Amino acid sequence: MDISSIGSVVSGVSGVSGVSGTSALSATSGTNATSATSFASELGGAVDNLQQLQSTSNSLAIQAVTGNLSDIHNATIASTRAQVTLELVAAVRNKGVDAFNEIMRMQA
């Protein structure tokens, strides 16, 4: 799989691409609360997208097993998208857990 096809798969994760505004946080608490809510909603959207991709992959796999699938390429692409997206979400989760553990190790 080349880089351009991975980029198109990763761009399917709508929640991760919308996090670009986090570097412009201001000192007011209202903005921080809005940014936190926005990040949470984007992360939730990414998980919802992952579930949709896995559901599509599963339904195409069932069609392939039962012999009702007309194009195996669609099933292969859906399966690969679901796999790469799951790996991406797992990596983001692992980085979040690592960051939380690092924060908990800090001394006051």
**Domain ranges across the chain:** 27-105
What is the per-residue pLDDT across 82-102, written as a single tens digit (0 to 9) for each?
999 999 999 999 999 999 999
Decide which of 88 and 43 is more confident.
88
CB-based contact 36:13 (threshold 8 Å):
no
C-alpha closest to that of 60 among 68, 48, 52, 50: 68
For residue 92, give both structure tokens.
């983001």
Helix and strand tally (H, E) in the chain? Answer: 4, 0
For the whole model, what pTM was predicted? 0.61
Residue 40: the pLDDT is: 85
71 Ramachandran zone, left/alpha/beta (phi>0; psi -120 to 50)? beta
